[in-house]
C-alpha cells in the first residue's frame, strides 16, 4: 500500500478543548492531579494521558508529536527545542562512554562539530566515511559500534544515502540506523526504508516560515519512553523541551507541507534544467545524470518531487560571494543560512553552515570553496527568478 504522509496528517482529528478546529494551546508549566496516587504513578511512568510537568510532556507537544509520528510512520515522537537537540539527545541516549559511531563525512556542520569535537569529552569515537560506499561503511564498523548515522540527502553535497542498504548493514551488526531527514520530509519516509530513528530540524521545511527553532525525534515508543524517563532519560534530564506555543505554530504549518514540498521541488527542477541549458555546473538529485538520482527514486514518494535543494560550484569563494551579493541585490532571494523558507536562500557552505568542518576535510569530501547551496523558494514566477540569476551570472562574467 502506498505510503501517503500528507493524507495521514489530514486524517488526524485533533480538536481544541472547546471544540475548536485547532487544538488548544496549553501553556501551563505544571499540571494538577485529583488523586495523589495518579501523580505517583505518573512519576513512575505507569499512566497515560496524565501530564506532570511541561519539560516531560504537555498537551500541545503531544499533538505535534502525534502528527510527526503519523507522517513518519513511527510509533512515537518527541519534540526538542532545536534540530541539534534532537540529534544530540538521540546520540547520548544510545551511546555510552567507550562506544563508537560510523557517520557520513558529509553532514551538517553542527553535527560534524558535535561528533568530531564534543563527543570526545565522553570518550565516544566517530569514524567519518563516504556513506555512499557501502563497503567502506561495513569496514568501519567495530565491536563497540552502536550507531550508523547519516542524512537522507547530505548537507551540503546533496548525496543520497541508500537507507535500505544501510539498514541491512546496521541490522546485521545489531546497530541503530539514525537518519536526519530534514532536507526531504514527505519525499522520503526513512522509517519505511529501514531506519530505526529519524531526526529533524523542524525549523526548515516542516515549519517553513523561519520564525522559530525546533526539532523532533521519531522512533518506536520504547525509545521515546527511554528518552523521557525521569531517572535516565537524556531528554528529560538535559531538558531541551519545545515551547507549546511553538508546537501549535508548527502543527498548523504541517497541514500545508505537502503543497509546499511540491512547489519547492517543481521550482528546483526548473532551475536545475535551465542551469544545465546555460552550461552552469549544478548538483540536483532530480537530474538523471546525478549520482544519487536512482537511489532516491527507489525510496521516494514521487508526487513530492526531488526536493528544493540545489548546489552550484563557482570554484572560488570570491566568485561565490560576488554572485550571492548580486543575486540578493537583484531580488533573487536572501544571502542567508537555513533552508525551507518561502524565499530562496543561498549561502557559501564552506564559509557558513559547514564552517565547523576543517578545510582539509572539506576537500576530502569533495566540497569546493565556491560551493553555493540554494534552498529554492516558493516563487510563483520561477521563470523570472531564473532570468535574474542568469543576468547576475552574465553581469559578473561567471559563465
Give the span between the Cα atoms of 110 and 171, in whole angstroms: 27
| Residue span of the structural domain in which 342 resides | 258-395
pLDDT at 114 over 90: yes
CB of 312 closer than 8 Å to CB of 274: no
Give the span between the Cα atoms of 150 and 171, in whole angstroms: 15
Looking at the structure, do residues 339 and 239 belong to the same domain, yes or no? Answer: no
Looking at the structure, do residues 123 and 183 belong to the same domain, yes or no? Answer: yes
Query: Across residues 13-37, what is the average pLDDT?
Result: 87
Looking at the structure, do residues 291 and 168 belong to the same domain, yes or no? Answer: no
Secondary structure of the chain in HEC code, one letter for each residue: CCCCHHHHHHCCCCCCCCCCCCCCCCCCCECCCCCHHHHHHHHCCCCCCCCCECCCCCHHHHHHHHHHHHHHCCCEEEEECCHHHHHHHHHHHHCCCCCEEEEECCCCHHHHHHHHCHHHHHCCEEEEECCCCHHHHHHHCCCCEEEEEEECECCCCCCECCHHHHHHHHHHCCCEEEEECCCCCCCCCHHHHCCCEEEEECCCCCCCCCCCCCEEEEECHHHHHHHCCCCCCHHHHHCCCCCHHHHHHHHHHHCCHHHHHHHHHHHHHHHHHHHHHCCCCEECCCCCCCCCHHHHHHHCCHHHCCCCEEEEECCCHHHHHHHHHHHHHCCCCEECCCCCCCCCEEEEHHHCCCCCCCHHHHHHCCCCCCEEEEECCCCCCHHHHHHHHHHHHHHCCCC
Per-residue pLDDT, 353: 67
pLDDT tens column, 299-309: 999 999 999 99
The mean predicted confidence, pLDDT, of the chain is 94
Total tally of structural domains belonging to the chain: 2
Residue 15: which CATH number?
3.40.640.10
Looking at the structure, do residues 187 and 296 belong to the same domain, yes or no? Answer: no
Domain end residue (candidates: 254, 271, 294): 254
Show the cell assigned to 120.
570526545
Looking at the structure, do residues 112 and 205 belong to the same domain, yes or no? Answer: yes
Looking at the structure, do residues 57 and 190 belong to the same domain, yes or no? Answer: yes
Q: Beta partners for 103?
A: 128, 149
**pLDDT band for position 351 (cuts 50, 70, 90):** confident
Per-residue pLDDT, 1: 56
Looking at the structure, do residues 234 and 265 belong to the same domain, yes or no? Answer: no
Query: Across residues 306-327, what is the average pLDDT?
Result: 96
Show the cell assigned to 203.
525549523
Query: Across residues 273-283, what is the average pLDDT?
Result: 96
Looking at the structure, do residues 249 and 296 belong to the same domain, yes or no? Answer: no
Per-residue pLDDT, 204: 98
pLDDT at 324 over 70: yes
Q: Distance between terminal CA atoms of the chain? A: 47
Looking at the structure, do residues 248 and 263 belong to the same domain, yes or no? Answer: no
Domain end residue (candidates: 222, 254, 286): 254
pLDDT tens column, 235-267: 999 999 999 999 999 999 999 999 999 999 999
Looking at the structure, do residues 113 and 100 belong to the same domain, yes or no? Answer: yes
Looking at the structure, do residues 21 and 42 belong to the same domain, yes or no? Answer: yes
Looking at the structure, do residues 115 and 228 belong to the same domain, yes or no? Answer: yes
* Phi, psi for residue 80 in degrees, rounded to 5: -130, 165
The answer to whether the pTM exceeds 0.85 is yes
The percentage of residues in the chain with a pLDDT greater than 70, rounded to a whole number, is 99
Residue 345: which CATH number?
3.90.1150.10
Give the span between the Cα atoms of 277 and 160, in whole angstroms: 24
Domain end residue (candidates: 254, 283, 315): 254
Amino acid at each position: 500500500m502506498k505510503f501517503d504522509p500528507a493524507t495521514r496528517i489530514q486524517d488526524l482529528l485533533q480538536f481544541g478543548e472547546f471544540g475548536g478546529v485547532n487544538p488548544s494551546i496549553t501553556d501551563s508549566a505544571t499540571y494538577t492531579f485529583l488523586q495523589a496516587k495518579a501523580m505517583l504513578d505518573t512519576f513512575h511512568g505507569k499512566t497515560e494521558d496524565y501530564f506532570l510537568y511541561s519539560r516531560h510532556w504537555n498537551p500541545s507537544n503531544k499533538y505535534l508529536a502525534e502528527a510527526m509520528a503519523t507522517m513518519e510512520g513511527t510509533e512515537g515522537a518527541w519534540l526538542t527545542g532545536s534540530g541539534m537537540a534532537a540529534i544530540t539527545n538521540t546520540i547520548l541516549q544510545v551511546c555510552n562512554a567507550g562506544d563508537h559511531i560510523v557517520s557520513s563525512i558529509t553532514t551538517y556542520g553542527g553535527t560534524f562539530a558535535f561528533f568530531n569535537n564534543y563527543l570526545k569529552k565522553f570518550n565516544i569515537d566517530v569514524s567519518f566515511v563516504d556513506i555512499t560506499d557501502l563497503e567502506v561503511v561495513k569496514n568501519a564498523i567495530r565491536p563497540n559500534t552502536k550507531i550508523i548515522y547519516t542524512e537522507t540527502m547530505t548537507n551540503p553535497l546533496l548525496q543520497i544515502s541508500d537507507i535500505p542498504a544501510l539498514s541491512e548493514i546496521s541490522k546485521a551488526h545489531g546497530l541503530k540506523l539514525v537518519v536526519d531527514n530534514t532536507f526531504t520530509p514527505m519525499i522520503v519516509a526513512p522509517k519505511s526504508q529501514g531506519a530505526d530513528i529519524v531526526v529533524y530540524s523542524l525549523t526548515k521545511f516542516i515549519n517553513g516560515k523561519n520564525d522559530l527553532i525546533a526539532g523532533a525525534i521519531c522512533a518506536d515508543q520504547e525509545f521515546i519512553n527511554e528518552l523521557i524517563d525521569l531517572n535516565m532519560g537524556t531528554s528529560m534530564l538535559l531538558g531541551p523541551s519545545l515551547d507549546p506555543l511553538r508546537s501549535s505554530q508548527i502543527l498548523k504549518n504541517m497541514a500545508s507541507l505537502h503543497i509546499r514540498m511540491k512547489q519547492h521541488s517543481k521550482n528546483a527542477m526548473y532551475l536545475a534544467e535551465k542551469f544545465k541549458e546555460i552550461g552552469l555546473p549544478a548538483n540536483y538529485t532530480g537530474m538523471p545524470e546525478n549520482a544519487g538520482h536512482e537511489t532516491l527514486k527507489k525510496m521516494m514518494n514521487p508526487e513530492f518531487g526531488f526536493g528544493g535543494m540545489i548546489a552550484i560550484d563557482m570554484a572560488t569563494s570570491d566568485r561565490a560571494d560576488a554572485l550571492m551579493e548580486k543575486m540578493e541585490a537583484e531580488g533573487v532571494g536572501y544571502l542567508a543560512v537555513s533552508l525551507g523558507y518561502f524565499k530562496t536562500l543561498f549561502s557559501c557552505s564552506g564559509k557558513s553552515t559547514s564552517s565547523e568542518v576543517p578545510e582539509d576535510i572539506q576537500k576530502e569530501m569533495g566540497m569546493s570553496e565556491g560551493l553555493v547551496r540554494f534552498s529554492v523558494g516558493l516563487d510563483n514566477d520561477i521563470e523570472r527568478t531564473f532570468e535574474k540569476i542568469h543576468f547576475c551570472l552574465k553581469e559578473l562574467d561567471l559563465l
